[in-house]
Amino acid sequence: MSANPIEVVLKFEQAINSRKVDAIVAMCTDDSVFVDSIGSKVRGRDKLKNAWEGYLKVVPDYRISHEEIFGHGDTVAVFGSAGGTFAPDGKIVDKTPSRSKPEIGSFRAENTVTNQDGKLVVDGEATVIPPK
Protein backbone atom coordinates (compact mmCIF):
# COMPACT_ATOMS: atom_id res chain seq x y z
CA MET A 1 0.00 0.00 0.00
CA SER A 2 1.34 3.38 -1.01
CA ALA A 3 1.78 6.08 1.61
CA ASN A 4 -0.76 8.89 1.72
CA PRO A 5 0.83 11.65 -0.41
CA ILE A 6 -0.31 14.52 1.82
CA GLU A 7 1.03 12.73 4.91
CA VAL A 8 4.37 12.28 3.12
CA VAL A 9 4.55 16.02 2.40
CA LEU A 10 3.64 16.87 6.01
CA LYS A 11 6.37 14.50 7.23
CA PHE A 12 8.81 16.29 4.90
CA GLU A 13 7.72 19.63 6.36
CA GLN A 14 8.39 18.26 9.85
CA ALA A 15 11.83 17.01 8.79
CA ILE A 16 12.74 20.46 7.47
CA ASN A 17 11.47 22.20 10.61
CA SER A 18 13.44 19.79 12.80
CA ARG A 19 16.51 20.68 10.69
CA LYS A 20 17.53 17.03 10.46
CA VAL A 21 19.29 16.88 7.10
CA ASP A 22 19.47 13.07 6.96
CA ALA A 23 15.70 12.89 7.50
CA ILE A 24 15.10 15.53 4.80
CA VAL A 25 17.26 13.76 2.24
CA ALA A 26 15.90 10.30 3.11
CA MET A 27 12.49 11.49 1.97
CA CYS A 28 13.74 12.41 -1.51
CA THR A 29 14.23 10.13 -4.49
CA ASP A 30 17.70 9.83 -6.03
CA ASP A 31 16.70 12.19 -8.83
CA SER A 32 14.83 14.80 -6.78
CA VAL A 33 15.46 18.42 -7.66
CA PHE A 34 15.42 21.32 -5.24
CA VAL A 35 14.91 24.78 -6.70
CA ASP A 36 15.64 27.66 -4.36
CA SER A 37 14.10 31.12 -4.30
CA ILE A 38 16.57 32.51 -6.85
CA GLY A 39 16.11 29.63 -9.27
CA SER A 40 19.26 27.62 -8.54
CA LYS A 41 18.73 23.88 -8.96
CA VAL A 42 20.28 21.04 -7.00
CA ARG A 43 19.73 17.50 -8.26
CA GLY A 44 20.40 14.21 -6.45
CA ARG A 45 20.56 13.17 -2.82
CA ASP A 46 24.28 13.78 -2.22
CA LYS A 47 24.07 17.31 -3.59
CA LEU A 48 20.80 17.90 -1.75
CA LYS A 49 22.44 16.85 1.51
CA ASN A 50 25.33 19.25 1.00
CA ALA A 51 22.96 22.05 0.01
CA TRP A 52 20.70 21.57 3.06
CA GLU A 53 23.67 21.35 5.45
CA GLY A 54 25.10 24.57 4.04
CA TYR A 55 21.80 26.40 4.04
CA LEU A 56 20.91 25.42 7.60
CA LYS A 57 24.29 26.67 8.78
CA VAL A 58 23.59 30.19 7.53
CA VAL A 59 19.85 30.14 8.34
CA PRO A 60 19.87 28.08 11.55
CA ASP A 61 16.24 28.75 12.46
CA TYR A 62 14.83 28.11 8.96
CA ARG A 63 11.21 27.03 9.04
CA ILE A 64 8.39 26.34 6.64
CA SER A 65 4.66 26.09 7.04
CA HIS A 66 1.75 25.32 4.81
CA GLU A 67 -1.39 27.36 4.54
CA GLU A 68 -3.06 25.18 1.97
CA ILE A 69 -2.31 21.68 0.79
CA PHE A 70 -4.17 19.75 -1.88
CA GLY A 71 -3.74 16.24 -3.17
CA HIS A 72 -4.85 14.55 -6.36
CA GLY A 73 -3.62 11.01 -6.75
CA ASP A 74 0.11 11.05 -6.04
CA THR A 75 0.50 14.77 -6.74
CA VAL A 76 0.38 17.31 -3.94
CA ALA A 77 0.27 21.11 -4.26
CA VAL A 78 1.57 23.03 -1.28
CA PHE A 79 1.06 26.74 -0.65
CA GLY A 80 2.78 28.24 2.34
CA SER A 81 5.66 30.28 3.62
CA ALA A 82 9.23 29.96 4.74
CA GLY A 83 11.52 32.17 6.75
CA GLY A 84 14.45 32.36 9.09
CA THR A 85 17.34 34.46 10.30
CA PHE A 86 20.39 34.96 8.11
CA ALA A 87 23.43 34.25 10.29
CA PRO A 88 26.58 33.88 8.14
CA ASP A 89 28.61 32.56 11.09
CA GLY A 90 25.84 30.10 11.98
CA LYS A 91 24.89 31.82 15.23
CA ILE A 92 21.91 34.02 15.99
CA VAL A 93 23.32 36.44 18.53
CA ASP A 94 20.22 38.18 19.80
CA LYS A 95 16.66 36.89 19.54
CA THR A 96 15.05 39.68 21.50
CA PRO A 97 12.33 41.52 19.59
CA SER A 98 13.73 44.93 20.53
CA ARG A 99 16.81 44.45 18.37
CA SER A 100 16.73 44.11 14.65
CA LYS A 101 18.03 40.89 13.18
CA PRO A 102 18.76 40.03 9.59
CA GLU A 103 15.60 38.07 8.85
CA ILE A 104 15.67 36.46 5.42
CA GLY A 105 12.03 37.29 5.28
CA SER A 106 8.94 35.28 5.01
CA PHE A 107 7.98 34.45 1.50
CA ARG A 108 5.11 32.65 -0.09
CA ALA A 109 6.09 29.50 -1.91
CA GLU A 110 4.20 27.24 -4.25
CA ASN A 111 5.43 23.78 -5.08
CA THR A 112 4.07 20.60 -6.54
CA VAL A 113 5.51 17.27 -5.51
CA THR A 114 4.74 13.70 -6.43
CA ASN A 115 4.71 10.82 -4.00
CA GLN A 116 6.63 7.73 -5.11
CA ASP A 117 6.65 4.90 -2.58
CA GLY A 118 6.66 7.31 0.35
CA LYS A 119 9.38 9.54 -1.09
CA LEU A 120 9.11 12.90 -2.78
CA VAL A 121 9.83 13.54 -6.42
CA VAL A 122 10.17 17.26 -6.94
CA ASP A 123 10.03 17.53 -10.68
CA GLY A 124 8.70 21.03 -11.01
CA GLU A 125 10.14 24.33 -9.97
CA ALA A 126 9.24 26.06 -6.77
CA THR A 127 7.67 29.45 -7.29
CA VAL A 128 8.51 32.06 -4.70
CA ILE A 129 6.07 34.91 -4.38
CA PRO A 130 7.42 37.90 -2.38
CA PRO A 131 5.19 39.10 0.45
CA LYS A 132 3.03 42.16 -0.11
124: confidence class by pLDDT, cuts 50, 70, 90 = very low
Higher-confidence position of 77 and 16: 16
114: confidence class by pLDDT, cuts 50, 70, 90 = low
Q: What domains can you pick out in the chain, each with its CATH number? A: 5-129 (3.10.450.50)
- What is the model's pLDDT at position 112? 57
Confidence (pTM): 0.76
Q: In terms of DSSP H, where are the helices of 2-91?
A: 5-18, 21-26, 45-58
In this predicted structure, the answer to whether residue 110 has a pLDDT above a threshold of 60 is no
Across 66-81, average pLDDT: 82
Collapsed DSSP state (helix, strand, coil) of residue 8: helix
Q: In terms of DSSP H, where are the helices of 1-132?
A: 5-18, 21-26, 45-58
Percent of the chain whose pLDDT exceeds 70:
67
Q: What is the pLDDT of residues 10-43, one digit of tens each?
A: 888 899 999 999 999 988 888 888 777 677 788 8
